[in-house]
Amino acid sequence: MKRGFFIAIAAVCFAVGLQGQTVKTGVLVVGNGSNALGAGIQAAKSGVKTTILVTEPGFKPKSSAKSMVSGIERDFLKAINNGKQLTPQQNTNDLIKLFTDTIKNLTILKSVTWTKFKRSGGGWVVELSDKKSIKAEVLVDADQSGKLKQSLQIEYKFPTWNALDYANTLYKTSIAAGFSLANTNASFLSLYQFLIPGQNNLLVLNPEQESFSGGQAAGATAAYAAFFHKKTSESVLKNIQGELLNFRLSIFPMADVNDLDSNWKAMQFMGLSGILKAELANGSASFLPDKTVTTAEVTQPLKDHFYKAQIWFDDHKGQEMTIGATIDLVCYTGGRSPVTTRNEINKYWKTKFKFSSEFDEKRIINRREFSVLFYSYNNPFNVRVDKTGRITR
């Protein structure tokens, strides 16, 4: 991946070409909907040779006006539909081709008939009707017809989008957010819903919940396994989340802050940590970046994340969360020099951090500022969680 968890690694990739009658690829995606497009495009952009196998003449992507759009999907919609949600167009596939032709590592095969899928080592081989075959390290089933699942003869449940609910910490394992469910777009997909027990290097997407962002989540997970020659059961949550955020995919649902905001990433990290919770109302989750932070709302979550926060709050009982107090807290929990950090924050306030407000240590800090300071100096994202989203030490 050119960013995220592949940034420090040379551009090693799978050779794709005919070797006899077998084409080799890193990730093989089967399908022609939004799930398939998102998965294939993300896997390719993450630096892995990717093939999308389409049995039909073209793609039939779907989108919902109520679903959140970010990153690659925003660029995709801008390219093929002037930034608007998809509507039936005769030239949709021509525009999709113009967009996908610019993506390195991506091959799309249309009107292909396959005869059999089978295991090959830790990966997969698909036999085609023309006697050729494709060998892949990871298979992504985004097939809407159900024929691939029937052919594999493997029992599995399709991953389903979850409504954000703070009674459950599973949202901290999210790798996609914002799909429109029945009454809400405050939704997410957990990494661990993609992983099938006993079935490595096979990822499936729900044909009843077609989503470009859900496809991206599967694509990044598949690319991680293919690039590092690992099993999907060895997926590292934080690395995959970081990769998707680097491609500007929202993994925490925020209706009022999109990826075009200069502080979006910091607020994504803060929302994902649960230190600052979104307001759930009218089917949406709002982060409320201009709302002031109270000591009461952050005390316990910060204690859960950082050992030293327990001591700091014991020594600062009842103190309001001013900008000055937040700097002290960040320095204490992160082991930083208060003087150096203060001077740096003052210097960067309007330049690097792009705040419109004035730097005033006595003022109560707002959620945007709080998120950026922690993201910059002691990011809670670095604290590990288990498969249920609970913090692990």
Q: What is the distance between the alpha carbons of residues 141 and 161, in angstroms, rounded to a whole number?
A: 17
Q: State the residue for tokens 């008939």.
A: 113
| Mean predicted confidence (pLDDT) in 162-187 | 95
Residue 14 confidence class, pLDDT cut points 50, 70, 90: very low
pLDDT value for 272: 98
* CATH 3.50.50.60, the chain: domain bounds: 1-253
| Mean predicted confidence (pLDDT) in 66-72 | 90
pLDDT value for 87: 56
Counting Cβ atoms within 10 Å, is residue 285 exposed (0-12), middle (13-18) or buried (19+)? buried
Residue 17 confidence class, pLDDT cut points 50, 70, 90: very low
DSSP letter at 17 equals S
19, pLDDT greater than 50:
no
12, pLDDT greater than 70:
no
pLDDT value for 1: 58
Q: What is the distance between the alpha carbons of residues 166 and 274, in angstroms, rounded to a whole number?
A: 8
DSSP for 187-239, please give it: EEEEHHHHPBTTBTTEEE--TTS--HHHHHHHHHHHHHHHHHT--GGG--HHH
Residue 9 confidence class, pLDDT cut points 50, 70, 90: very low
pLDDT value for 4: 47
DSSP for 63-74, please give it: --TTS---HHHH
pLDDT value for 89: 57
* 1-253: CATH superfamily: FAD/NAD(P)-binding domain (3.50.50.60)
| Mean predicted confidence (pLDDT) in 167-171 | 97
pLDDT digits (tens, 9 = 90+) for 294-348: 999 999 999 999 999 999 999 988 778 999 999 999 999 999 999 999 999 999 9
Q: State the residue for tokens 């999308």.
A: 52
Residue 21 confidence class, pLDDT cut points 50, 70, 90: confident
Residue 16 confidence class, pLDDT cut points 50, 70, 90: very low
Residue 8 confidence class, pLDDT cut points 50, 70, 90: very low
Q: C-alpha distances in angstroms, 183 versus 138, 280, 283?
A: 34, 12, 6
Q: What are phi and psi of 5, to 5 degrees?
A: -75, 0
Length of the chain: 393
DSSP letter at 103 equals S
Lowest mean pLDDT among 59-63, 81-85, 194-198, 314-318: 81-85
pLDDT digits (tens, 9 = 90+) for 87-115: 555 578 888 999 999 999 999 999 999 99
Identify the H or E element spanning 128. strand 123-128
pLDDT digits (tens, 9 = 90+) for 261-294: 999 999 999 999 999 999 999 999 999 999 999 9
Identify the H or E element spanning 163. strand 162-163
* Mean pLDDT computed over every residue of the chain: 92
**pTM across the whole model:** 0.92
Residue 182 confidence class, pLDDT cut points 50, 70, 90: confident
Residue 81 confidence class, pLDDT cut points 50, 70, 90: confident
